[in-house]
Amino acid sequence: MRGVFLAIGDELVAGRVANTTSFWAAGLLSRRGYRLLEIVTVPDDREAIVFHLRRLFPQTDFLIASGGLGPTEDDLTSESVAEALGLRLVVHKGILARIRENEKAQGLPVNTLRDRMAHLPEGACPLSEDFTAAGYLLEHQGKPLFFLPGVPSQFRELFEKKVLPYLEEKFPPKETVFTRTLRFFDLREAEINRAVKKILGEGLEVGFYPVFPEVQLTLTARGKDEGEVRRRVLEAAARLQTHFPEHLFGEDQEELAAVLGRILVERGYSLSVAESCTGGLIASLITRIPGSSEYFIGGAVTYANWAKREVLGVPERFLRLFGAVSREVALAMASGARKRFSTTFALSVTGIAGPGGGTPEKPVGTVWLGLSTPTETVARKFLFPGSRHEIQTLAAFTALDWLRRYLLTGNLFPAYRFAVEGD
Amino acid sequence: MRGVFLAIGDELVAGRVANTTSFWAAGLLSRRGYRLLEIVTVPDDREAIVFHLRRLFPQTDFLIASGGLGPTEDDLTSESVAEALGLRLVVHKGILARIRENEKAQGLPVNTLRDRMAHLPEGACPLSEDFTAAGYLLEHQGKPLFFLPGVPSQFRELFEKKVLPYLEEKFPPKETVFTRTLRFFDLREAEINRAVKKILGEGLEVGFYPVFPEVQLTLTARGKDEGEVRRRVLEAAARLQTHFPEHLFGEDQEELAAVLGRILVERGYSLSVAESCTGGLIASLITRIPGSSEYFIGGAVTYANWAKREVLGVPERFLRLFGAVSREVALAMASGARKRFSTTFALSVTGIAGPGGGTPEKPVGTVWLGLSTPTETVARKFLFPGSRHEIQTLAAFTALDWLRRYLLTGNLFPAYRFAVEGD
């Protein structure tokens, strides 16, 4: 079953409000097996609304529209619907009575401008039984057309309580849809795509989306047999997992920090961090995960040099001889944190996130990461690209991922795109 | 001048990603006096892309498209453009050379699948001089058509650096549009709106956007006389600043942490933080701001109780008698951080972000914030609503805002919506 979404509002095309409601609805529809052909956003303009309604009506099985149902002059949806479909506007007595009651209850004078909201295309059926929210269903030539208010909370309530149940009754999903999202770190879309082509069979829809700094891949299958549909997706996911045993770190809602946390908990390990240029971002990523207190003991954000000395015991002469952004300081920070917080592992970061502070030998993006384990402490140099925030994010994700990959493989030096070796 | 926006991507119509980039671009265009006729979102579907390109081309002065420029099979934008406009696809030698160079630099084998990205409609002119981002301008029958990558960061950079300057040169704005964004913390939209209605005159467009946990308000004026247009907006902004001297914390791109940082630098003060339930988020918000090393010395993320003791010197008996989430521990953390890092001020947070860990006396959302100044150390209790991440974010923003308001007014106990007084 194919639908279209028509979002109506001057505030949307002017970018004063981001129309996230349409994408929220698109997600719900898609997960139930309904496909949207397009999402069109137009201003409160009668000609535009009429044009798109006429164009979309023959192509679609159902239509969902939002906005333009209020009492003001620029609310033009109902009259545009009437014009587009050749219908009269008729007064809905229940809505009109409700308008008068509201005026009375609020001690307002009768204002017939509000009556506009009671003028609906003939055959329209209000979706809110007590008429507290605007919005109606119009069945035209057997096709359901839903007109919902633009206010997100009202839209969402009517969409979930009225639109979805109606669609599921009228168009019972003919097929099962099953989607799995696979999450990759430190791989390019193109590299993943090459593998996808080689190892995935037919009958799967593949979608890529970069969600910085990850790449996320969705595998979707459709079909009549639920078990078979799930099997197709899960088998493909397993093949990709085998192909990318280290880079495919998680599925669906699993954050990188949550995957690392799960491994730490399973093995009874604990973790601390020592951060300079990431400034608390690693600790923050870890502690966003519920239950992180099981393995995360604490962290030191040592932005000033003397904080590195005072809190982590980094020797003064290291800072003087090698500078704060150096192998020696990264090593001392990692082992200092591991000692201070008495943890199994510690991660450290010291680098130049910019925009200032770069030099020819240590340009912006130069970052040393340190990892201290019960048996050794090592450090690696990276050169991350991008803005200050991107460099901080890449450094934080790489640190978490480094420990995750070490715990998976025992290899202390897994390959990374932005690693600078031999330094 | 009228434009159209065509957003291309399966992930968009399937609602896996909200296409906020188009609304961001729409806002920038609108504030410069360009109008968007519509924003159309379609899947990676050749027929749909061709249809809309052909339909939109005659109506519009310019077109901006996003997405579908990657190296994978489902990236169909360039071939659809060629078909829609009757152009050949030609290989762009510079881009091809860049692809081969990248492969070499990264030690990758030659992969001709990547060559797709070098196939552009004839006449297309890449927007990135060094070809690091996809995206090109195609001038067709005198009309500029921009095709930009769907990756938000790349889209935004090219849009601001290439598309807007081009449009402003080719279609000089006939009127001046001036917009200022005012940023509020700890006020509801309805409260701001009541004041806006009372104190703002005619001739201003007002837009509200909640950007959690802030409310942002835009004031826009249009007209021929640039000075007069600016004056109208700035006078209105000044009236709102007078009306909300504490809650209106910044303008345009100014983050809360940047505003606080500016005040600290001006007065030569320094800051440290001690975080438990916010887990590094406050430090991270501070250190996202370039130049924060001028005033931020460091922070301790003391997630485990004994880390509070070990790093911050919180007395064992406080933890035993009052629990980690208590006035006494918040006070000890703040004064401990201030001492440890030798800073003018220190902020502390200890609380229950959930979803687990709540009790009848200390439900999820209970957070103690501490502030240590050169003359005293105080703590306040809050009860924040929402998810784990929302509670962490509200706690972190409130801590930063508390110090900002204290520095502005000298009042150690400004009112907050979620403060629990008398505890």
CA dihedral B317, B318, B322, B324 (to 10 degrees): -120
Tell me the average pLDDT of chain A.
93
**Single-letter code of the amino acid located at B273:** V
Tens-place pLDDT, residues B303-334: 999 999 999 999 999 999 999 999 999 999 99
What residues are paired with A382 via a beta bridge? A367, A419
Say if residue B94 is in the same domain as residue B233.
Answer: no
Residues B295 and B402 in one domain: yes
Is residue B109's pLDDT more than 90? no
Q: What is the ipTM of this complex?
A: 0.81
Considering the domain architecture, whether residues B219 and B334 belong to the same structural domain is answered as: no
The confidence band for A363, taking pLDDT boundaries of 50, 70 and 90, is: very high
How many domains are there within chain B? Answer: 3
- Reported as a single tens digit per residue, the pLDDT across A13-50 is 988 777 888 998 998 898 788 989 999 999 999 999 99
What was the pLDDT predicted at B334? 98
Q: Determine the average pLDDT of the residues in B85-92.
A: 96
Residue B423: what pLDDT? 62
B 330-349 residues with CB < 8 A to A: 340-341
Q: Do both A165 and A23 map to the same domain?
A: yes
CATH code, domain carrying A206: 3.30.70.2860
Tell whether A264 and A399 lie within a shared domain: yes
Contacts of B134 (CB under 8 A, 6+ apart): B69, B70, B117, B128, B148, B149, B154
Contact with chain A for residue B299, Cβ under 8 A: yes
Instruction: List CB contacts of A122: < 8 A, sequence separation 6 or more.
Output: A82, A87, A88, A89, A90
Q: Which amino acid is at A237?
A: A
- Identify whether residues B140 and B192 lie together within a single domain: no
Residues B161 and B183 in one domain: no
Chain B interface includes A209 (CB < 8 A): yes
The last residue of one of the domains, among B201, B228, B251, is: B251
Minimum-distance CB partner of B207 among A11, A39, A206: A11
Going by pLDDT thresholds of 50, 70 and 90, the confidence category of residue A423 is: low
User: Of the residues A184, A217, A251, which one is the last residue of a structural domain?
Assistant: A251
Q: Quick one: closest CA in B to A37, which residue?
A: B42
- In this prediction the pTM is 0.82
- Tally C-beta pairs within 8 A across A and B: 271
Q: Which domain holds residue A266?
A: 256-420
Mean residue pLDDT of chain B comes to 93
Instruction: For residues B5 and B23, give the distance between their C-alpha atoms in angstroms, rounded to a whole number.
Output: 10
Percent of chain A with pLDDT over 90: 75
Diameter over CA atoms, chain A: 86
Rounded to an integer, the average pLDDT of A127-139 is 91
Q: Encoding tokens for residue B141?
A: 């029958």
| Residues A158, A204 within the same domain | no
Give the SS3 label for residue B188: coil
- Asked if B84 and B145 sit in the same domain, the reply is yes
Q: Identify whether residues B349 and B321 lie together within a single domain.
A: yes
Residue A107 is predicted with a pLDDT of: 77
What's residue A202's pLDDT? 78
Q: pLDDT band for A213, please (50, 70, 90 cuts).
A: very high
Inter-chain contact B40–A41, Cβ cutoff 8 Å?
A: yes
The whole-number pLDDT of residue A130 equals 86
Q: Domain with B87 in it: what CATH number?
A: 3.40.980.10
Supply φ then ψ for residue A83, to 5 degrees: -65, -45
Which residue blocks in A107-248 are alpha helix, DSSP H? 152-158, 164-170, 189-199, 226-243
Q: For residues A323 and A314, give the distance between their C-alpha atoms in angstroms, rounded to a whole number.
A: 11
The last residue of a domain, from among B201, B227, B251? B251
| CATH code of residue A271 | 3.90.950.20
Q: Cβ of A2 under 8 Å from any chain B Cβ?
A: no
Average pLDDT over residues B93-108: 88
Say whether both B206 and B128 belong to one domain. Answer: no
**pLDDT band at A175; cut points 50, 70, 90:** confident
Residues B316 and B340 in one domain: yes
